[in-house]
Structure formats: C-alpha cells, structure tokens
Amino acid sequence: MKAVLVSLDGRPLKEAIGQCLRGAFAGTPAGGRALSVWLSGALARPFLFGPVRGLRSWNETNEAAESVAREAFGIDGPWHVVLENDPSSHCVLGTAVLQATIDEIYRTATALRLDVRSTRPAWAEAIDAMPAAMAGATLLSFRDADSLTLLGMRRDEFDLASTYMPCPGADEIESLLRRLHLSRDLAPQAMHNASINTAANGAPTFAWSALAPAAA
C-alpha cells in the first residue's frame, strides 16, 4: 500500500488534496490503488483532553473532545477527533481533523478511483518509526511544509501539544526550543526532531535527529 503526504504548502485545501493524491499515482493504471494518507500538522492537529469524569459513553466523550478542539483551535468545525486512550482518569493526547478535510480526501479519492485505507497525522507515523535509541525522549518536534508540531511528556503522560502555523523560521524555532529546554529542565538527549518531507516519487519521508539548542 502506498503512502502519500497531504500538506497545504500555501495552497487551498481542495487544490492541495487533488495535487497530492494525483501525484502519488501519476502514470500508474487506474483502479485497485490503495493508499494511506498522512496529514501535515496543519491538517491533523494534536490537543490535550482530560481527565474528565462522568462521561457515560464514547459518544459523549467524543462530543466533549470535539468541544475542546473547537475552543483550542478557534474553528467551529465540525471536527473529527480521535483520542489515544480513555481520558476518565488522566490527560490523553487527541488528534483533531476538520471533517471538511476528511470529506474532501474521500471525495477526491473516489473521483480518482483510489482506495483510501487510512488517514493519520504524519507526526504519528513518525513516532511509530522513531528509533529505539530515542524512546526516552520527553520533547518531540515535527517540522513539515505547513507547521511545527510539539509534543511533550512528564511522568509518562502528555502535557504539551502545540502546533505553529506556518512553520516558524530556524531562528524562531531555536529560540522556542531553548525556552522549552530550560523551562522543562530536560535531560541531555531528551529532545528529538523529525523532519517530514515528500520524496520525488510522492512518498512521504522523515528523518529523526537529536536536538541540542545552543546555550543562551
């Protein structure tokens, strides 16, 4: 199954999705073309949710999480939200994607006779492929064409989930990471970055590296 990275990169949503999906299968026969869609940090945004007690069903939980996403991102939506775990007893990481984005992906895929098997944040795919030597990282950054996404953990629980759009310049990122490094009192080698890009054949790629902000 082929993977394709969808990012806005300065384009309107419909145009970006159409170009990314068409480019992934350019020159290949139509029909039977399965793909996994990876979304940039601007399209799939992380947020924190919980702990929340008293919710009686996953429907209630999703409705509450969507309300948090609307408030966090300042867009009415509707939002499609996914939570990593049960938020009843502790804070969990969630992902929010505008339903209009999901709808446009499947509408475009249908028109192009593509079979979308999954849609996930590119930063989540990068976490899954993170080298074992980086498993102890407590601050992760993800840079793509649209955004900078930051995730932080304390005591095995996410406590930071931020997206900066558009992606800041190198100096601004350096300053931001330096402040986080100091405020969170991070141990050496606790910060790692994934650069997420698109290869010449349209496939998404990422490269992990350790981060060591320069001293102030």
**Residue 133 three-state SS:** helix
Q: What share of the chain is helix, strand, coil (3-state, %, to 5)?
A: 30, 35, 35
pLDDT of the residue at 168? 93
| Beta strands 139-143; 191-198: pairing state | parallel
What residue numbers bound the domain in which 107 lies? 2-210
pLDDT of the residue at 54? 83
Whole-model pTM? 0.89
Do the domain assignments include residue 72?
Answer: yes
Handedness of CA 7, 12, 17, 22 (dihedral sign): negative
Calculate Rg over the CA atoms of the chain.
18
CATH number of the domain that residue 6 is part of: 3.30.420
Whether the Cβ atoms of residue 8 and residue 43 lie closer than 8 Å to each other? yes
Q: What are phi and psi of 23, to 5 degrees?
A: -65, -30
The span from the CA of 46 to the CA of 99, in Å, is: 15
Do the domain assignments include residue 173?
Answer: yes
Query: In whole angstroms, how far apart are CA 209 and each of 66, 172, 193, 194, 198?
Result: 33, 18, 5, 7, 17
Do the domain assignments include residue 215?
Answer: no
- Name the amino acid, one letter, at 176: L
Residues with Cβ within 8 Å of 72's Cβ and at least 6 positions away in sequence, in order, are 47, 96
Please list the pLDDT of the chain residue by residue as tens digits (216 residues): 889 999 999 999 999 999 999 888 776 665 558 999 999 999 999 999 999 888 888 889 999 999 999 999 999 889 999 999 889 888 999 999 999 999 999 999 999 999 999 999 999 999 998 888 787 788 999 999 999 999 998 888 899 999 999 999 989 988 898 888 888 888 767 888 899 998 876 778 988 988 765 554
Number of domains in the chain: 1
E strand spans, 42-174: 45-49, 79-83, 92-98, 114-121, 139-143, 148-154, 157-164
Do the domain assignments include residue 164?
Answer: yes
Whether the Cβ atoms of residue 148 and residue 164 lie closer than 8 Å to each other? yes
Do the domain assignments include residue 93?
Answer: yes
pLDDT of the residue at 56? 82
